[in-house]
Structure 1
Amino acid sequence: MSKDIKKVVLAYSGGLDTSVILKWIALTYNCEVVTLTADLGQEEDLDGVDAKALATGASRAYVEDLREEFARDFIYPMMRANAVYEGRYLLGTSIARPLIAKRLVEIAHQEGAQAVAHGATGKGNDQVRFELAAMALDPRLKVIAPWREWNFRSRTDLTNFAQEHGIPLPVAASRKQYSMDRNMLHCSFEGGELEDPWSEPLEGSYLMAVPMEKAPDTPEYIELEYLNGDAVALNGEQLSPAAMIKALNTLGGKHGIGRLDMVENRFVGIKSRGVYETPGGTILYNAHRDLEGICLDRESMHLRDSLITRYSECVYNGFWFAPEREALQKLIDETQRNVTGTVRMKLYKGHAVPVGRKSPYSLYRMDLATFEEDEVYNQADAAGFIRLQGLRLLGYKK
């Protein structure tokens, strides 16, 4: 073990894993451990988590409300990009990691720590996300990843260690069969029956959204106002980014919106089956995408769309603080200058459907689009356009 590590900043949830990690690092590295518990809108009671960290051996415990920063500086920029991984996943877990890593590094600087630590396993994506972010922000800091270092191989091993060192064990949860991650954007479920991709998810995997069968039989209409690509008002009420996502989570969850069951490709090379709930994010995605249809020039939209896969991979693979993601963000934000207007959404039985849109920057012209008689478009001109488009096909042989 590195003898020059005197102080470590640990991402700490207060659960079994990170409690054991706290004590293990202190004993193994013979160093101080400072903890960071981030409130990202996971709807957990964080009262007492700092006291638990101190009782477990931490020299100092930070508990920070990062909800507004998370929504404003991470979720909203990603939403402006219409980012979806593998065409389906709205990146709820992925986008939280760079913010946590950012605060770990900042606190390490404040505390004079030589290392940061996380509780991600050696099989998953989060280890990559935490560590790439830390490397980008301060490559001098060492990273401690206990799951890649210690000899523990099971939850039983962790429980035994906790009992040996007087670490309070968490009360068993009703969803203990799942590995879960939740923040204001989504909740993810892995493990349990989900490890068999043929098995239908059980009721325990419903937390933020009701099953569609239990959703109201009457649709609900809402209006979302956008300014420069960001949702700023709901039904006429101005809301901050965090308040907007929370309000839409409630509305979307009530109508069973935002459930996703998929097998994805992890960055580390493993296929993984998970269930994701992203009710508010799904509404935002659908509304934003629809408003762009009326506000964005065709070629600007197609250029931006060609970058969605690349941008999404930056987020999923942990390259949020990489130069390519930052460059992509500048281009994307340029396309959003006129994405301003209102979208009327119909929420019903798992669906968030745009049914109306308007914008002061609308490029839609009824006099061009109409099927009625007009004096703007000469339909005979289309013949020459088609002939020119087809010139390259004349010599093409199958």
Structure 2
Amino acid sequence: MVNKVVLAYSGGLDTSVILAWLKETYECEVVAFIADLGQGEELDRARDKAYAIGAAEVFVEDLREEFARDYVFPMLRANAVYEDGYLLGSAIGRPLIAAKQIEIAKTVGADAVAHGATGKGNDQVRFELAYQTLNPDIKIITPWREWDLNTRSQLLKYAADHGIQIDSTGAADRPYSVDQNLMNTTYEGEVLEDPGALPPLGVFFRVRDLAEAPDEPERVTITFEGGDPVAVDGVPLSATDTFGKLNELATKHAVGRVDMVENRIIGIKTRGVYETPGGTVLLTARRALEALTIDGEVALLKEELMPRYARLVYRGLWFAPEREMLQAAIDHSQQNVSGDVEVALYKGNVSVLRRTSPFSKHSRKRVSFEAGVGAAAYERHHPEGFIRMNALRFASVAAAASDPAPEGVS
């Protein structure tokens, strides 16, 4: 038995039907939670719609700064990219939404939470792992695994039968799924399910097409402190405004589109099409600054850890102890990742032009070919011993290959 449930609500077809279905099926109060992660939609309309459908209470929270500062930035410190393409923009939003649902459930005395993720998607895993980590006793309702409304036409009929108003234009008419936030826009499903098919015209609405991008590059300088961006072109910005500015610039120059086939959590392959404009710029600039400021062996270890970290985020394990352990190591490596990186944005590309840091580990004296420069720290005969030491094992291999085996040994 359920008395009150907190639903992650977006205002779209699926969650609107779910709100009515929860009331009808469980005969319980439904509290709708609308999270503003920078999706750029009119959330007041979603709130009014939730009340019209029958929500007992509606919470609308502006989480943009918390999302960027406490979720996206820590993930970017790891340079996390899933399967060489996906910058995890949608995946990183789910744990924050789930955490707020659990908080609201405690505030209003709800004994259950619900989400609108489908039975074949990744988000059901991400939401439910977070719920169970943060409150193992909470009841989880998963409509897509319980009801018999398995097609879009069935959802539309249910909505019509229950007097639920569905927009007849825009998102409601798109033959694919869209998820958007400050970091990322995800397109998948329906017409995009065939990896061999070109995305139809009009699919993308965030990043400009290459053909429409300016014919002149644009330079932008990003300032970092402790691995996080703090200013753009010398102007200090909040985490939210940093994304706002870089998204605007990158979108104009067609930066950040990715079309890939990835391995979902549940074991099937899917095509994902993503637009991550500002995040792509930040990732490129951060890597350039890390190359200047991080010890070589630390950088190598960090690159080895990155795929594991990215996989944890993708698989919904943000609150897992292993992710927190990796985060501690990664954050330790960021202490001196401070300085300026200038990049050029041009026709879908982000090119690093220069990088400077007060903590630079690069030394002109040590790398210079000029005679006498840096002689005290480096002599030209030094590499000889280094090379000989590293070649010792090769000599042993060669000797073993040329010596005949002792009698009786085959």
TM-score (structure 1 length as normaliser): 0.97
* Corresponding residue for residue 302 of structure 1: 300
Letter in 2 for 1:172: T
Does 2:381 match 1:383? Answer: no
Instruction: State how far apart, in whole Å, the 1-side matches of 2:364 and 2:96 are.
Output: 45
Deviations 1:271-320 (A, max 9, x none): 00111000000000000010001110111111111110111011000000
After TM superposition, the structure 1 = structure 2 runs for residues 171-210 of structure 1, keeping only pairs within 5 Å, are 171-173=168-170, 176-210=174-208
Q: CA deviation at 1:168?
A: 0.8
- In 1, the alpha carbon distance for the partners of 2:106 and 2:179 equals 27
Q: How does 1:107-146 map to 2 (within 5 A)?
A: 107-146=104-143
Per-residue deviation, 1:371: 2.4
What is the deviation of 1:163? 1.0
Does residue 63 of the first structure (1) align with residue 60 of the second (2)? yes
State the one-letter code of the partner of 1:258: G
Aligned residues of 1:85 and 1:313 also touching (Cα < 8 A): yes
Deviations along 1:347-386, one digit per CA (max 9) or x if unpaired, are 1110111110000101100011122223242222112111
Report the structure number with the largest CA radius of gyration: 2
**Match of residue 404 from structure 2:** none
Where 2:281 maps in the other structure, the secondary structure is: helix
1:87 deviates by 1.8
Query: What's 2:241 paired with?
Result: 243
Match of 1:330 among 320, 328, 349: 328
Distance 2:397 2:318 in 1: 44
Distance 2:370 2:203 in 1: 51
Shift of 1:21: 0.3
1:167 CA drift (Å):
0.8
Q: Which residue in the other structure is 2:397 paired with?
A: 396
Bigger Cα displacement from structure 2, 227-236 vs 379-388: 379-388
Unaligned runs of 5+ in 2: 402-410
Alignment RMSD, CA only?
A: 1.2
Deviations 1:41-88 (A, max 9, x none): 011111222121111011001111110000000000001110000122
CA distance in 2, matches of 1:192, 1:128: 21
2:81 to 81, 84, 107: 84
SS at match of 2:384: helix
In structure 2, distance between residues paired with 1:10 and 1:151: 19
Find the residue that maps to 1:226 and give its secondary structure: strand
Moved more, 40-49 or 110-119: 40-49
Residue 253 of structure 1 contacts residue 279 of structure 1 at CA under 8 Å; is this kept in 2?
Answer: yes
What amino acid is aligned across from residue 184 of structure 2 in structure 1?
H
Q: Which residue in the other structure is 1:361 paired with? A: 359
Q: Secondary structure at 1:48's aligned position in 2?
A: helix
Residue of structure 2 equivalent to 1:351: 349
| 96-105 vs 161-170, greater mean Cα deviation | 161-170
What secondary structure, in the 3-state scheme, does the structure 2 residue paired with 1:213 have?
helix
The yes-or-no answer on 1:25 pairing with 2:26 is no
1:147 is displaced (CA, Å) by: 0.2
TM-score (norm 2): 0.94
User: Could you tell me how far 1:95 is from its partner in structure 2?
Assistant: 0.2
1:41 equivalenced with 2:38 (yes/no):
yes
- Equivalenced residues, count: 395
SS in 1 for 2:140: strand
Identity %: 51
Which residue is 1:256 aligned to?
A: 254
User: 142, 157, 161: which is aligned to 1:160?
Assistant: 157
How many Å apart are 1:229 and its aligned residue?
Answer: 0.2
Secondary structure of the 1:307 match is helix
| Residue range with higher mean Cα deviation, 299-308 or 97-106 | 299-308
Name the counterpart of 1:149. Answer: 146
C-alpha displacement of 1:341: 0.3
The answer for the alignment partner of 1:216 in structure 2 is 214
Distance (whole Å) between structure 2 residues aligned to residue 390 and residue 138 of structure 1: 57
Q: Distance in 1 between matches of 2:52 and 2:220?
A: 47
1:170 is displaced (CA, Å) by: 2.0
Mean Cα displacement is larger for which, 283-292 or 384-393?
A: 384-393
Structural mapping, 1:307-322, within 5 Å: 307-322=305-320
Distance 2:280 2:397 in 1: 43
SS in 2 for 1:10: strand
What do residues 103-140 of structure 1 show as CA deviations (whole Å, max 9, x unaligned)? Answer: 00000000111110000001010000000001111111
C-alpha distance in 1 between matches for 2:191 and 2:21:
31
The residue type equivalent to 1:325 in the other structure is: R
Report the CA distance shift for 1:396/1:172 in structure 2 as closer, same or farther (over 3 A).
farther
Q: C-alpha deviations, 1:5-40, integer Å up to 9, x for none? A: 100000001111101100101111111000001110
Q: Which piece of structure 1 moves more, 144-153 or 375-384?
A: 375-384
1:211, distance to aligned residue in structure 2 (A): 1.2
CA contact (8 A) 1:208 1:249 kept: no
Alpha-carbon deviation of 1:178? Answer: 1.5
Q: CA–CA distance in 2 between the matches of 1:240 and 1:40?
A: 15
Partner-residue secondary structure (3-state), 2:22: helix
Alignment check: 8 A CA contact 1:94 1:126 kept: yes
Q: Is the 8 A contact 1:205 1:275 kept in 2?
A: no
Query: What CA distance in whole angstroms lies between the structure 1 residues aligned with 2:166 and 2:125?
Result: 28
